[in-house]
């Protein structure tokens, strides 16, 4: 045996002597590292439980009451008189309403009208000079093109138009300045009224429609002067009004801002009072919105009175709350999934998922919005990821733990916790038997169904309005669409950064054209045929007991690849050759047989096979004994003691249902080449093969139940019968020779 093989064999034996994963060395299996992971996870979750930037959020979460829920605690009695505060959303609505009703402020400029009159007098005086035949200063206000339309008029007509223009323009401007001419468009104002500040200390409120601005000045002038002046005089009059119309109402941004501030400050923050000794809520009472206001106002008043509700005991309680939820998952892993529990990499993945869920739950209440952000918590995505990376049973416990964490951080929010648990469970089981990456996108439908059913059912019980349920359903739809994408992305990261192998990765090894299997078929054809038959049998057994059939099948394909090294030492490959073992001692023959495990491990590592597949190579024999050569050694010993350890495989024993199935099927499949006359003989042979493994302790670590073993036994018997049934001996037609009797060349 080479030094490399000896070293590898020693490692296998060390692994076989202590089969629990915690026997491994290094940081990945360090107990100290594991404790640090536990503490950090609990501390992170405690932070999200206890710390909130918004104090009112903390108060509302401290009391888990929600409208429609029943108060299950002892009666809450006020220890002091306090005001009932409005809900923050309700208060903000009142503030917005008050701001909308606050009037924009304009400042009156009294001199503007006088300036307008002076300009009008100059314009009309200039026009008077023109119609009087003295157009010396005509260029000051008019152009010749604007006035040439009057050239054809008689002096009397010109004077008549001038008199009418003078009268109606002054009348119009007086009417405009009676209410005011604003310097901004009044259409951009939200309020229907405005406030006018008249120096020194007077205030006047006017309808916005009475005020004119520079935009509608021309429109009002044209409408007023129409049918009062000739066509030529009308156009010129409108132009004069636009030139001499000086705004006398100036919008004040500063004064308007003060008006908005006063309006906001005038909104009451309270809407009632609770007196000392008054019962706020009784045990068993249904909590409505009014009671909820009183509860939250009570704790808010305690803060105002400088009563510190966040003591060291509060944080210790939050730490305990988070730890209790986390412990549920750890207990399951410790007793049911020891391989995950003792692997710090796997426990870290689950802990990170829990922390991320805690963060998203915390974020859903920290972001100040009325949108149902809680239905964007990606719990279904993490449930799917757990089912793919680990298994559906683990995914269910992870889902329950995450749902409890969501509920706890959101102030015992049972509604959201239940919705997430139901949708997460559906999501996990939809990818239980996933065969391709595109299959996970089918989960969109199931996640949405799970969330929608929960929203509708709870909404009916709480008498929620249709709009609220619709908003929640829309966010649930977004969650359903995002979850498969998030799962796919995280799965890619995990597969590329760790040595964890998912069922999706195993699909790559089902292909019989894999280089190792191709080489096996060429160099060890008998072993290859045994492998194919055994894989079919193992897959059926796995399906029968609800084990991982894909992993079992792939493990069976690669369990005997070590025989590639020396195929001639195994009976199934000894075709037309002498038996090599005839020239060897029993001890050396046993070593040659056992070496296929060591050779298989080396070949698997050289070709970077996943650990989940490599496990099948040593575990399909466990620490069982090479019976034939052990018995032969005893016969040749003449009473000399033979150490059975020299004839045992290095192990370790099967540590899962899948590896145990391959061990059982490996020996049972060989029975298919033994001719049994009666079914009872076959049943006895299969039963004896399995019992030998049970008595030898080979299945002690496999988690197989006696019921599982019984089902496997029955499946093996049916399979062997189906492939080894006797052929019917067909009769020949009288007078014809059989094919074997035809003489060479007679067929020509």
Query: Of the given ranges (430-439, 508-517, 694-703, 714-723), which has the lowest mean pLDDT?
Result: 430-439
Please give the Cα distance from 73 to 51 (Å, whole number).
24
**Band (377; pLDDT cuts 50, 70, 90):** very high
Q: How many CB atoms lie within 10 A of CB 473?
A: 17
* Residue 78 falls inside a structural domain: no
Give 70's strand partners.
286
pLDDT score at 447: 93
Residue 463 belongs to a domain: yes
Cα 187–188–194 angle (5° rounding)?
80
Are residues 607 and 591 part of one domain?
yes
| Residues 520, 408 within the same domain | no
Most confident of 222-231, 488-497, 612-621: 612-621
Of 400 and 230, the structure prediction assigns the larger pLDDT to 400
> With helix as H, strand as E and coil as C, how does 17-44 read?
HCCCHHHCCCHHHCHHHHHHHHHHHHHH
Which pLDDT score is estimated for 36? 96
- Indicate whether 25 and 147 sit together in one domain: no
The residue from 450, 471, 500 where one domain ends is 500
- Rounded CA-CA distance 133/130 in Å is 5
Sign of CA dihedral 496, 501, 502, 508: positive
Cα distance between the two ends of the chain:
59
CATH number at 682 reads 1.10.3210
* Mean pLDDT (whole number) for 331-353: 94
What lies within 8 Å, CB to CB, of 388 at 6+ separation is 431, 434, 440, 487, 491, 502, 503, 504
Q: 650, 463, 747: which is closest to 5 by C-alpha?
A: 650
pLDDT at 19 over 50: no
Asked if residue 157 belongs to a domain, the reply is yes
Whole-number pLDDT of residue 566: 87
Q: What does the pLDDT look like over 587-604, one tens digit per residue?
A: 888 888 899 999 999 999
Q: Are residues 223 and 329 in the same domain?
A: no
- Tell me, what's the pLDDT at 9? 53
Given a cut of 50, is residue 16 above it in pLDDT? no
65 domain residue, yes or no: no
Helix 443-462 and helix 414-430, axial crossing angle in degrees, nearest 10 = 160
Indicate whether 65 pLDDT > 70.
Answer: no
Q: What is the DSSP letter of 575?
A: S
What is the pLDDT confidence band of residue 34, given thresholds at 50, 70 and 90?
A: very high
Where do the DSSP E strands lie in 105-192?
105-108, 181-182
Cross-strand bridge partners of residue 648: 625
Residue 538 above 50 pLDDT?
yes
Q: Verify that 252 and 337 share a domain, yes or no.
A: no
User: Residue 287 falls within a domain, yes or no?
Assistant: no
411 torsion bin: left (phi>0), alpha (psi -120 to 50), beta (else): left
Kindly state whether residue 225 falls inside one of the protein's structural domains. Answer: yes
Q: What confidence score (pLDDT) does residue 728 get?
A: 56
Residues 706 and 619 both lie in one domain: yes
3-state secondary structure 174-220: HHHHHHCEECCCHHHCCCCEEEEEECCCEEEEEEHHHCEECCCHHHH
Which is more confidently placed, 741 or 36? 36
Average pLDDT over residues 627-653: 84
Nearest Cα to 65, choosing from 264, 391, 293, 256?
293
Residues 712 and 587 in one domain: yes
Other Cβ atoms less than 10 A from the Cβ of 463: the count is 8
CA distance 593 to 581: 10
Tokens of 597: 């495990």
Distance CA 463, CA 459 (A): 6
Phi/psi at 625 (5° precision): -100, 145
Query: Do residues 157 and 202 both lie within one domain?
Result: yes
Question: Cβ contacts of residue 566 below 8 Å, gap of 6+?
Answer: 592, 595, 596, 599
Please give the average per-residue pLDDT across 103-125, as a whole number.
91
pLDDT at 20: 45
Asked if the model's pLDDT at residue 667 lies above 60, the reply is yes
pLDDT of residue 7: 55
Cα-Cα-Cα-Cα dihedral sign, residues 301, 306, 309, 315: positive
Per-residue pLDDT at 18: 39
How many angstroms separate the CA atoms of 678 and 239, rounded?
Answer: 121
* For the chain, percent of residues with pLDDT exceeding 70: 87
- Report residue 14's pLDDT band, with 50, 70 and 90 as the boundaries: very low
**CB atoms near residue 207 (< 10 Å):** 10
Judgement on whether residues 516 and 484 belong to the same structural domain of the protein: no
Domain range spanning residue 235? 101-262
pLDDT for the residue numbered 624: 92
Segment holding 273, helix H or strand E: strand 270-274
Residue 2 lies in a domain: no
Read off the pLDDT of residues 142-186 as tens digits, 9 standing for 90 and up. Answer: 666 667 777 777 888 888 888 888 999 999 999 999 999 999 988
Q: Are 228 and 168 within 8 A, CB to CB?
A: yes
Check whether 738 has a pLDDT greater than 60.
Answer: no
Confidence tier at 454 by pLDDT (50, 70, 90): very high
pLDDT at 613: 93
Say how many C-beta atoms besides its own lie within 10 A of residue 579's C-beta. 12
pLDDT tier at 55, thresholds 50, 70, 90: low
Q: In terms of DSSP H, where are the helices of 31-139?
A: 31-50, 55-62, 88-101, 111-131
Identify whether residues 593 and 707 lie together within a single domain.
yes
| CB-CB contact of 16 with 649 (8 Å) | no
pLDDT of residue 199: 86
User: Which pair of structure tokens corresponds to residue 474?
Assistant: 């829309």
pLDDT in tens, 234-260: 888 888 888 888 999 999 999 999 999
Q: Which residue has the tokens 């400088």?
A: 306
Q: Kindly state whether residue 96 falls inside one of the protein's structural domains.
A: no
Q: In terms of Cα–Cα distance, which of 639, 645, 643 is closest to 625?
A: 645
What's the number of domains the chain is made of? 3
Query: With 0-12 CB in 10 A as exposed, 13-18 as middle and 19+ as buried, what is 704?
Result: buried
pLDDT band at 39 (very low <50, low <70, confident <90, very high): very high
Averaged pLDDT for residues 81-100: 86
Mean pLDDT of 346-357: 96
Task: Check whether 436 has a pLDDT greater than 80.
Answer: no
State yes or no: pLDDT of 264 exceeds 70.
Answer: yes
Of 262, 279, 302, which one is at a domain's C-terminal end?
A: 262
Percent of the chain scored above 90 by pLDDT?
40
Coil, strand, or helix at residue 742?
coil
Selection from 300, 294, 252 nearest residue 275 by Cα: 294
User: Measured between alpha carbons, how far is 692 from 667 in angstroms, rounded to an integer?
Assistant: 11
SS3 content of the chain, % helix, strand, coil (to 5): 65, 5, 30
**The pLDDT of residue 375:** 94
Query: pTM to 2 decimals?
Result: 0.64
Q: Which two tokens stand for residue 257?
A: 């801002």
- Residues 216, 331 share a domain: no
Chain centroid to Cα 70, Å, comes to: 31
> Residues 249, 333: one domain?
no
């Amino acid at each position: 045996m080479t030094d490399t093989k000896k070293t590898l064999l020693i490692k296998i034996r060390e692994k076989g002597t202590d089969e629990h994963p915690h026997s491994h060395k290094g940081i990945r299996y360090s107990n100290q590292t594991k404790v640090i992971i536990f503490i950090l996870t609990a501390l992170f979750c405690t932070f999200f439980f206890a710390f909130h930037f918004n104090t009112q959020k903390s108060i509302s979460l401290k009391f888990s009451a929600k409208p429609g829920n029943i108060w299950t605690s002892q009666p809450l009695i006020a220890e002091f008189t306090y005001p009932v505060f409005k809900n923050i959303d309700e208060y903000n609505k009142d503030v917005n309403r008050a701001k909308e009703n606050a009037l924009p402020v304009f400042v009156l400029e009294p001199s503007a009208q006088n300036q307008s009159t002076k300009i009008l007098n100059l314009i009309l005086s200039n026009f008077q000079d023109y119609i009087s035949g003295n157009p010396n200063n005509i260029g000051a206000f008019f152009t010749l093109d604007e006035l040439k339309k009057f050239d054809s008029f008689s002096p009397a007509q010109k004077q008549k138009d001038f008199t009418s223009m003078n009268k109606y323009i002054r009348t119009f401007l007086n009417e405009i300045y009676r209410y005011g001419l604003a310097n901004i468009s009044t259409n951009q104002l939200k309020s229907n009224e405005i406030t006018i500040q008249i120096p020194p200390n007077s205030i006047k409120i006017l309808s916005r429609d009475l005020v004119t601005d520079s935009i509608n000045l021309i429109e009002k002038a044209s409408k007023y002067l129409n049918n009062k002046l000739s066509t030529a005089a009308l156009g010129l009059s409108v132009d004069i009004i636009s030139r001499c119309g000086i705004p006398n109402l100036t919008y004040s941004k500063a004064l308007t801002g003060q008006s908005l501030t006063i309006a906001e400050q005038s909104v009451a923050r309270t809407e009632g009072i609770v007196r000392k000794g008054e019962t706020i809520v009784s045990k068993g009472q249904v909590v409505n919105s009014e009671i909820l206001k009183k509860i939250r106002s009570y704790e808010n008043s305690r803060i105002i009175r400088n009563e510190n509700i966040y003591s060291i005991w509060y944080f210790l309680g939050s730490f305990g709350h988070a730890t209790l939820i986390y412990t549920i998952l750890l207990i399951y892993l410790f007793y049911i999934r020891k391989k995950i529990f003792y692997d710090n990499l796997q426990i870290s993945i689950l802990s990170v998922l829990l922390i991320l869920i805690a963060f998203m739950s915390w974020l859903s209440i920290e972001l100040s919005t009325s949108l149902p952000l809680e239905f964007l918590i990606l719990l279904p995505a993490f449930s799917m990821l757990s089912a793919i990376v680990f298994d559906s049973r683990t995914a269910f416990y992870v889902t329950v733990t995450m749902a409890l964490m969501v509920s706890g951080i959101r102030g015992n929010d049972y509604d959201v916790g239940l919705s997430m648990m139901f949708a997460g469970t559906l999501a996990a089981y939809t990818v239980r038997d996933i065969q391709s990456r595109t299959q996970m996108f089918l989960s969109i439908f199931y996640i949405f169904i799970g969330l929608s059913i929960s929203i509708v059912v709870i909404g009916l019980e709480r008498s929620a309005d249709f709009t609220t349920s619709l908003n929640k359903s829309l966010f649930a739809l977004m969650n359903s669409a995002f979850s498969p994408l998030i799962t796919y992305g995280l799965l890619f990261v995990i597969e590329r950064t760790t040595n964890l192998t998912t069922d999706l990765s195993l699909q790559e090894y089902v292909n019989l054209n894999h280089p190792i299997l191709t080489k096996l078929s060429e160099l060890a054809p008998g072993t290859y045929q045994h492998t194919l038959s055994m894989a079919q049998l193992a897959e059926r057994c796995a399906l029968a007991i609800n084990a991982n059939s894909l992993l079992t099948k792939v493990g069976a394909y690669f369990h005997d690849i070590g025989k590639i090294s020396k195929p001639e030492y195994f009976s199934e490959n000894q075709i037309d050759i002498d038996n090599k073992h005839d020239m060897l001692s029993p001890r050396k023959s046993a070593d040659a047989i056992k070496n296929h495990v060591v050779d298989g491990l080396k070949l698997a590592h050289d070709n970077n096979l996943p650990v989940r597949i490599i496990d099948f190579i040593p575990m399909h024999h466990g620490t069982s004994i090479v019976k034939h050569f052990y018995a032969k050694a005893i016969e040749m010993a003449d009473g000399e003691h033979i150490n059975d350890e020299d004839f045992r495989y290095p192990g370790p024993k099967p540590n899962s249902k899948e590896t145990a199935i391959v061990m059982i099927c490996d020996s049972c499949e060989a029975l298919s080449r033994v001719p049994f006359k009666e079914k009872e003989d076959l049943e006895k042979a299969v039963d004896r093969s399995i019992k030998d493994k049970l008595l030898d302790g080979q299945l002690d670590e496999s988690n197989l139940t006696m019921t599982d073993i019984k089902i496997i036994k029955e499946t093996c018997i049916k399979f062997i019968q189906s492939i080894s049934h006797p052929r019917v001996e067909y009769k020949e037609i009288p007078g014809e020779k059989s094919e074997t009797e035809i003489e060479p060349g007679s067929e020509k």
